[in-house]
Amino acid sequence: MLVPKARGELSEALFGALRERPSAWTAVFDADRRDREDVQIALWALYELHYRGFEDVDEDLEWHPDASRLRHELEADFELLLRSRQRRTPALEEPFDEALFALVADHDGPSVASFVQREASREQVLELLRYRSIYHLKESDPVAWVVPRLSPGPKAALMELQYDEYGCGDPNRLHAHLFARGMEASGLRTEYGAYIDDVPVEVLEQNNAMSLFGLNRRLRGAALGHLAAFEATSSMPSRRIAAGLTRLGLATEMVAYYEEHIEADAVHEQLAVRTICGSILAEEPALRDDVVFGVETCLDLEDRFASWLIEGWSHE
């Protein structure tokens, strides 16, 4: 993957420094940071240095002091933004797992899955798959950063979930591989990050939030809360999307990817909420507010993406 297209003054300066002018960091730190889309693509690229990197960026720049400084500054502002969007009190009643399930069940945001099931056109679904590919082609990787930050109980529970996500040892069953097969059968590109230049800021924020939580040890509670909400809101939407893809006659490989998640995520939600979050809160009750922060962030960012996407589709 090559460095993505710049979306403003900050990302243009940053990408230039990463690719060609490693001494030009003064321009990066002097760049305007008021454009949300510009900031988010810059942060996404800085995070990607820790995943697979870029073909046109020297691997030594992953921990370049100026790159690390900029990432720290951008993600600090991003975390403040995410926290400012919280709408609920973090003081959920006991038992925590039941309260968390109730919070998710009571959530009534716009549903991309319902739209896909009943109304979306083939072109709209292919657009959705392109956007989702930014995460699904590295599925579960952001959560993998959390594993070494946990004690034995939560770690073992998280690894049980991750083992399934990574195909139970079979590379052909890896969920990211299954999604890539579905993309290929649907006539879409399967290279990692292939559609990054096409995605809106809402998708960048979704992906950056997972990287923010996974790469910062102090936010391990938020990472697990985000995981719990993600899994708890996946099984039924996967069923609806599979039905919509079938309605439109899309590739069986793509349908199979979503069908895989109907049963798997019904199990994963119990594991993520009751066992993973339950065990870490039993050991570290002070992480409770951060777990809820992760839950709310997951729900809020999906609402923002769904609202943007459905509004655009409704005007086509």
The structural domains of the chain, ordered by start, are 9-84 (no CATH), 96-314 (1.20.910.10)
pTM recorded for the entire structure? 0.95
Alpha carbons 83 and 92: distance in angstroms, whole number: 17
Reply yes or no on whether the pLDDT at 168 is more than 60. yes
Residue 176 — pLDDT band, cuts 50, 70, 90? very high
Instruction: Identify the pLDDT of residue 22.
Output: 63
Residue 116 — pLDDT band, cuts 50, 70, 90? very high
Considering only CA atoms, give the Rg of the chain: 19
Reply yes or no on whether the pLDDT at 239 is more than 90. yes
Find the mean pLDDT for residues 3-29: 91
Instruction: Identify the pLDDT of residue 136.
Output: 96
Instruction: Identify the pLDDT of residue 47.
Output: 98
161 closest CA partner among 63, 269, 300, 237: 269
Reply yes or no on whether the pLDDT at 91 is more than 60. no
The b-or-e profile of 51-73 (16+ CB within 10 A means b, else e) is beebeebeeebeebebbeebbee
Find the mean pLDDT for residues 271-284: 90
* pLDDT tens digits, 216-227: 999 999 999 999
Alpha carbons 194 and 249: distance in angstroms, whole number: 24
Instruction: Identify the pLDDT of residue 268.
Output: 81
Find the mean pLDDT for residues 9-21: 92
Instruction: Identify the pLDDT of residue 271.
Output: 85
Residue 63 — pLDDT band, cuts 50, 70, 90? very high
Instruction: Identify the pLDDT of residue 89.
Output: 56
Reply yes or no on whether the pLDDT at 88 is more than 70. no
Reply yes or no on whether the pLDDT at 66 is more than 90. yes
Instruction: Identify the pLDDT of residue 31.
Output: 95
Reply yes or no on whether the pLDDT at 90 is more than 70. no
Find the mean pLDDT for residues 94-110: 80
Looking at mean pLDDT, say which of 93-107, 133-147, 156-170, 274-288 comes out highest.
133-147
Reply yes or no on whether the pLDDT at 188 is more than 60. yes
The number of residues in the chain equals: 316
Reply yes or no on whether the pLDDT at 125 is more than 80. yes
Decide which of 24 and 158 is more confident. 158
Mean pLDDT for the chain?
92
Percent of the chain with pLDDT over 90: 78
146 closest CA partner among 228, 241, 63, 29: 228
